[in-house]
Amino acid sequence: MSHAPPAAGRAPDSGPADSRASGAGDDHSGRDADDRWLATVMNTAFLALLAGSLLRYLLKHPDSPRLPWVVGLGITLAVLQLAGHRLIARRPGRPALVLLGAIVTCWVVIVLLAPSFAWCAVPLIYTVLRTLPTRAAVALVGVLCALVMIAEWRISDDVDPNLFLVPPAVTVLATAVFLHMRRQAERLAATERREGTLAERERLSMEIHDTLAQSLSSQQMLLQAAERTWDSDPTTARGHVRTAESIAERSLAEARRFVHDLAPADLAEGGGLAEALRTLALRESTDTLRVRLHVDGTPVPLPDRVQSALLRIAQGALANVTEHAGASTATLTLSHLDDQVVLDIADDGHGFAPPTDAPSGGRGHGLAAMRARVRQLGGTLTIESAPGEGTVVSAAIPLEDR
């Protein structure tokens, strides 16, 4: 089994993982689109009912002294309803309540002047339910329903039982559908918050494992080595202590940036991913382990999250090499291909049998974290290893924006 670094022209690994983490923003955008669609439908229905009611009034009462008032109020009501959609969406609270009050008042006045405008209340119910808290909205919707029945009774020649059945039925149905949709949206939002919390917990777990846990493990190994050689070889022991001190300083910088959710310290210092990997290789090289870096292909700008993920993968893989592999050399190869960036970490250690299901703790936890990082970016992680033949860890991430 050969562990030479892959050439720049290597064939791409298998395609992206089946599942890809999607941002919550997409879900919010979808709900916003649904809200806009429903608002457009309701506004269109409102304008159609308003135009039909106005046309009916013009045909039946062309000489009525109320005609200018009815036409003016109709135009005002149309403008308020259209403006209300945007204002309620952008500035909920007092401005939306004031506008809703103006819309309802205008509708009540025009219904008193021309009862045929009563059925414009159906789309208006949506605006009320969307703006007010549930109890207040239901109460106001009940008042609107009563006004519709009174208006229909005024223009009816006789008492029709449907006058007292149809408006309440339509009102109850519209209110029930809207409240059901609202509850569904609230449950969906709660589910997304829980999923976001779990995703953030997983991210924090990976960050802690790839930074603080690994550095503490390295410090422990160095201090134990210093303790064993302190009497027989104090110079070497002091070197181990100095190295542990350097790792502690680096860990402190990582912890501070971790708290502020910034990029890894090596990336924050500038120079890009290649320079950060070169710094990592120099830092991880010891008297017993030589770490080298090769960069193949033409470097291209990479998104911050891709650089951060690949650097964390390199850190985790080298930590595994140091703690488990017993290797004398390790090689980092960063390959810039046409449609993806590939990072290989190869060592000449004693290797292992890659498990199908990563065990908890130890190396398995580190490999699981690497897989999770790559999966979140739509890439793949492959591991080639066998007992006595070293290990190659390869992370391939597609460059979708190119």
pLDDT digits (tens, 9 = 90+) for 206-240: 666 666 677 777 778 888 888 888 888 888 888 88
Please give the residue that has the higher pLDDT: either 270 or 360.
270
Q: What are the residue boundaries of the structural domains of the chain, listed by start? A: 24-193
The confidence score (pLDDT) of residue 292 equals 92
Cβ atoms of 125 and 137 within 8 Å: the answer is: no
| Helix ranges restricted to H, 91-165 | 94-113, 121-131, 134-154
Least confident of 200-209, 278-287, 351-360: 351-360
Which of 48, 150, 50, 39 has the alpha carbon at shortest distance from 90?
39
The percent of residues in the chain predicted with pLDDT above 90, rounded, is: 7
Output the pLDDT for position 260.
52
Q: pTM higher than 0.75, yes or no?
A: no
Per-residue pLDDT at 34? 61
Residue 127 confidence (pLDDT)? 77
Average pLDDT, integer, range 171-178: 81
pLDDT at residue 268, as a whole number: 60
pLDDT at 341: 92
Q: Range with the lowest mean pLDDT among 77-86, 100-109, 339-348?
A: 77-86
Q: Does the pLDDT at position 139 exceed 50?
A: yes
> Cα dihedral sign for 138, 140, 145, 149?
positive
**Band of residue 342 on the pLDDT scale cut at 50, 70, 90:** very high
- What are the helix and strand counts (H, E) for the chain? 12, 5
Tell me how far CA of residue 231 lies from CA of 226, 227, 235, 240, in angstroms.
9, 8, 10, 13
CA 281 to chain centre: 33
pLDDT at 256: 67
Question: Residue 257 — left, alpha, or beta (φ > 0 → left; ψ -120 to 50 → alpha)?
Answer: alpha
Pick 25 or 239 by higher pLDDT: 239
pLDDT value of residue 187: 82
Mean pLDDT estimate for the chain: 76
45 pLDDT above the threshold of 60: yes
264-319 confidence digits (pLDDT tens): 666 766 678 888 899 888 888 888 889 999 999 888 888 888 888 898 899 888 88
Q: Which tens digit of pLDDT belongs to each residue from 84-110?
A: 666 665 555 677 788 888 888 888 888
